[in-house]
Homo-oligomer: A and B are copies of this chain.
Amino acid sequence: MPLLVMKFGGTSVADLGRIRNAAEKVKREVERGYDVIVIVSAMSGKTNELVAWVEQTSPLYDAREYDAVVSSGENVTAGLMALTLQEMDVPARSWQGWQVPINTTSAHASARFVSIPRDNIEAKFREGFRVAVVAGFQGLSPEGRITPLGRGGSDTTAVAFAAAFGAERCDIYTDVDGVYTTDPRIAKKARKLDRIAFEEMLELASLGAKVLQTRSVELAMRYKVRLRVLSSFEDSDENSGTLVCDEEDIMESKVVSGVAHSRDEAKMTLLKVADRPGIAAAIFGPLADAGVNVDMIIQNISEAGFTDMTFSCPTNQVKRAEKAIADARAAGAFAFGELVVDDDVAKVSVVGIGMRSHAGVAATMFRALARENINIKVITTSEIKISVLIDRKYMELAVQALHDAFELDKAA
């Protein structure tokens, strides 16, 4: 029988009524002839309660115990979902991570999948079960302990199951009805996309469009899993939501697919750094060790053997970055004239696979911003994306201007 993976996040299973609503969507797919693997998160609020208990008990907690406690949230939802389906006469059972088993590495902060053997679940499908309800987020380490796949890791669990079982599609049910050309709260004219390429989704996910986790999109791209994002709270059919898929599955595509933004960015510049081989490693090594998520890096041209090095990071990591730089300087790793911090910037990006074959996207972008008198502070580009840092107060204006300039409100 063809197989579908369906994933429901915490707000989609927040109480018994919503679990029932989700179960109805599952039943509909069973009636259409699919065997279904359902991945569920904890009922929303439950994970926070458990995390608070752990943190109150032990500020520097043992990650293995954290995982043992917090994973119980998903187990509860999985059992309740299986019971709800049984009540609807759909043969279903729940699976905890260790029962499948979902084999992972032992890193408790960020365990990775090693394997998901199909045998146990497939044996149950052969016995006549139509639905396997799997507790999201959790795996089994080689030492026999519960490992998490990072908070919110149930998107990734869903994609991994879809890859392992060769699912026809992986449907991610959430509280929005798809992926938009930009944030609808900022640009009224934002339009829902019917399809988007994996690469574009990856750029959008990591740029701050919080619909899907970056890692789940990476995994889907690697294993060619057709990934669909759609709403738990609306009726849906085969054409609902947004399909994240291979570039070739998108017939007609615009040059730019979306405008992303990220509000809380900071720009830091080291003035007068010696321009010598290895200087970038000397600076960014200590920052990485300190856990600073450096995003953009720009090195200006050199003058008289010195250069300026600029990078961006989230605002709340500025203090940590300053300390790492001061420590490295004191240890003699590198010298510089001055550190200039601007923690009042935002990042705006345009993303589109079509850029690869179309010149002039950067020019259009810069012209649109210039028309609004928005000064660009930093520019970086990749094959399918152009990002700029601007003053934070202009962020909404820039998003709207770019959305208009690339006519994203109109379908391709």
**Chain A residues proximal to chain B, CB less than 8 Å:** 16, 19, 50, 53-54, 56-58, 61-62, 64-66, 68-69, 71-73, 75-76, 78-80, 82-84, 86-87, 93-94, 96, 98-99, 120, 144-146
Contact = CB atoms under 8 A, between A and B. Distances in A.
Contacts of A84: 57-58
Given A16-B57, A58-B87, A75-B72, A93 B80 contact: no
Nearest to A84: B57
Given A53-B16, A76-B53, A65 B93 contact: yes
B65 A94 contact: yes
Identical copies in the complex: 2
A50 B76 contact: yes
Contact of A53 (B75, B80, B145): B80
Contacts of A62: 82-83, 86, 93
Given A65-B86, A69-B80, 17 more contacts: A16-B56, A54-B83, A57-B80, A58-B83, A58-B84, A62-B93, A65-B79, A65-B80, A65-B93, A68-B78, A68-B79, A69-B76, A69-B83, A71-B75, A72-B73, A72-B75, A99-B145
26 contacts: A50-B76, A53-B80, A54-B80, A54-B83, A57-B84, A58-B83, A58-B86, A58-B87, A62-B83, A65-B80, A65-B82, A65-B83, A65-B93, A65-B94, A66-B83, A68-B79, A68-B82, A68-B94, A69-B75, A69-B83, A71-B75, A72-B72, A96-B146, A98-B98, A99-B144, A99-B145
Contacts of A78: 68
B79 A69 contact: yes
A79 B145 CA distance: 12
Contacts of A99: 144-145
B83 A61 contact: yes
Contacts of A146: 96
Contacts of A61: 83, 86
A153 to B, nearest CB: 18
Contacts of A72: 72-73, 75-76
Contacts of A96: 68, 146
